[in-house]
Structure 1
Amino acid sequence: MGHIRIGISGWRYVPWRGDFYPEHLAQKNELKFASRAVNSIEINGSFYSLKSPTLYSRWAADTPDGFVFSIKGPRFITHVRRLNEVETPVANFFASGIFQLKAKLGPFLWQFPPSFKFDPEKFEHFLSLLPQTMKQARACAKQCDERMKKPGYLDMPTTGRVRHAVEIRHVSFVTDKFVALLRKYKVALVVADTAGKWPYVEDVTSDFIYLRLHGEKALYESGYTPAALKRWGDRIESWSNGSQPKDAHLITDKPAPKRKSRDVYCYFDNDIKVRAPYDARTLLERFGLAQGLEVAPGVLQGVTF
């Protein structure tokens, strides 16, 4: 099996305080707590604004060994510029200090708005800008604006892969050409459960799988039933073993390259009703991944703040 990472999208939510988070836990310690309840977290603050090397370094220090972050790409690129003239904004993002996460750096998520339609030429140009290696990431970051050149902005490993995943929300992407482009650039197609609101597809386009579970029946709100979580667990097991669920919802009939295993990243985004961390824990327990974590939901154990 590949590595399985199961966690939450973001960690700073007011309704979680006094529920998932203990009653008097200081806000500054919420990441410390959450990162000991799940084995991965999707950083979504990077979607709204560029962060700093100092902040990424602090987040790395606040989390335990073996923990992994995924990072959401800026909406300025996907929602504001809508992929028009994004060379410098992409460089600014990769120069913002993200590599201060070091070994805790996981994939990058690029989410597109429901109004964004598939344009093959524009989309391929964007994919061509995304670095696939640390060497390419460094070269990309060097093209940033002067204001981004802060201490540590080029601190990154000299070798290693950089992974990307794309989440789409417009039916125009449901075409063989889109899948072919993702496979060409080795970018994962996000399996997004959106309570039926946007396209649900499961084509395998990279050597890893990226899931975002936004709610079973109500977007960002409803939790998942035991039966639903079992279904997701079965699918994760299949993907991690390098295969595909027999009832997969596919765009293309062209099979993905065979692999013995694939890493899986799964994030719950049903945060409004405080379901995300508990649903994540249930799946972690399914795979025996909760045993080594230091914190159970709502219970602080042996963590010094």
Structure 2
Amino acid sequence: MSIHVGIGGWTFEPWRGPFYPAGLAQKRELEYAGQHLTGIEINGTYYGSQKPESFANWAASVPDGFKFSVKASRFTTNRKVLKEGAASIEKFLTQGLTRLGDRLGPIHWQFMATKKFDRDDFAGFLDLLPDTQDGLPLRHAIEVRHESFRDQAFIAMLRERNMAVVYADSDEFPCIDEQTADFTYARLQRSQEDVETGYTDAALDGWAKQAKDWAKGDRDVFLFFIAGAKVRNPAAAQALIARLGT
């Protein structure tokens, strides 16, 4: 069991000062983030393919035990018929992400808010997601953003495949609070700019307790501070890590 806490990406100009020290070279920002956080959600992969060497370099920049989640390409999930996306899924998975090695955490598959639950099509899509890639085990986290997914048929198909439904704490999208895998994937999206740590002490205490509850029974937890007042997300992650003692 382990709890990994982090942010989305690591390149963001407003973090230079509040998070990254003045004068730190941009090429060393990931190294710095790796020393102060325990996970990062790679978002650039959503927009386009990356080079295998990039994944290898990212893995070498962070310490043992650090985990990257990788956001799946939009071409795999923003489709009218999901189960016809085998080629785009293969292209995404073979771009070199396994060069992350033991730093690879879950693959994050995010769907648009307009995508409704179609039982047959969605089951067909999930069946396209492999358990391994290049001999490396894969974990899949599924983020849906339409109320039609509040369906026990959807929850059951995730449990059958040991895939996690993303816990999205957001003002915009539904939060499906179900444990469907041997890990939990949470995206917290309510940080406030007028709070130095993004969340109040009471809120952070609550999330620390929730993370520990999720981790019971040897369940791994991946928790990322995303969106909201983005400038505050590194501080929120650090404050939560301090409460968890990880």
Match of 2:166 among 190, 209, 217: 190
Q: Which amino acid in 1 is paired with 2:167?
A: V
* Corresponding residue of 2:241: 284
Report which of the two has the higher share of helix: 2
1:164-213 deviation per Cα after TM superposition (whole angstroms, max 9, x unaligned):
00111110101111101111111101111112x21112100001100001
1:102 aligns with 2:101: yes
* Corresponding residue of 1:173: 149
Deviation at 1:284, TM superposition (A): 0.6
Q: TM-score, normalised by structure 1?
A: 0.76
Match of 1:206 among 176, 181, 190: 181
Q: 1:66 to 1:261 in 2, by over 3 A?
A: closer
Match of 1:264 among 215, 221, 229: 221
* Corresponding residue of 1:121: 120
| Aligned residue-pair number | 243
Report which of the two has the higher share of strand: 2
Match of 2:138 among 162, 173, 176: 162
Partner Cα distance (1:29, 1:169) in 2? 35
Deviation at 1:270, TM superposition (A): 3.4
Partner Cα distance (1:165, 1:212) in 2? 11
Secondary structure at 2:231's aligned position in 1?
A: coil
1:34-69 deviation per Cα after TM superposition (whole angstroms, max 9, x unaligned):
111101111111111011111101111111222111
Partner Cα distance (2:203, 2:93) in 1? 37
Q: TM-score, normalised by structure 2?
A: 0.93
Q: 1:123 to 1:66 in 2, by over 3 A?
A: same
Supply the RMSD in Å over aligned alpha carbons.
1.7
Deviation at 1:29, TM superposition (A): 1.3
Unmatched runs of 5 consecutive residues or more in structure 2: none
1:108-148 deviation per Cα after TM superposition (whole angstroms, max 9, x unaligned):
0001111111111111111001011x3xx2xxxxxxxxxxx
Deviation at 1:80, TM superposition (A): 4.8
The farther-off stretch of 65-74 and 18-27 is 18-27
Secondary structure at 1:30's aligned position in 2?
A: helix
Secondary structure at 1:96's aligned position in 2?
A: coil
1:14 aligns with 2:20: no
1:239 aligns with 2:214: yes
Partner Cα distance (1:227, 1:8) in 2? 20
Match of 2:200 among 208, 217, 225: 225
Secondary structure at 2:84's aligned position in 1?
A: coil
Task: Mark the structure with the bigger radius of gyration.
Answer: 1
Q: Which amino acid in 2 is paired with 1:89?
A: S
Partner Cα distance (1:32, 1:163) in 2? 25
Partner Cα distance (2:81, 2:206) in 1? 35
Unmatched runs of 5 consecutive residues or more in structure 1: 138-155, 242-259, 290-305
Q: 1:274 to 1:82 in 2, by over 3 A?
A: farther
* Corresponding residue of 1:251: none
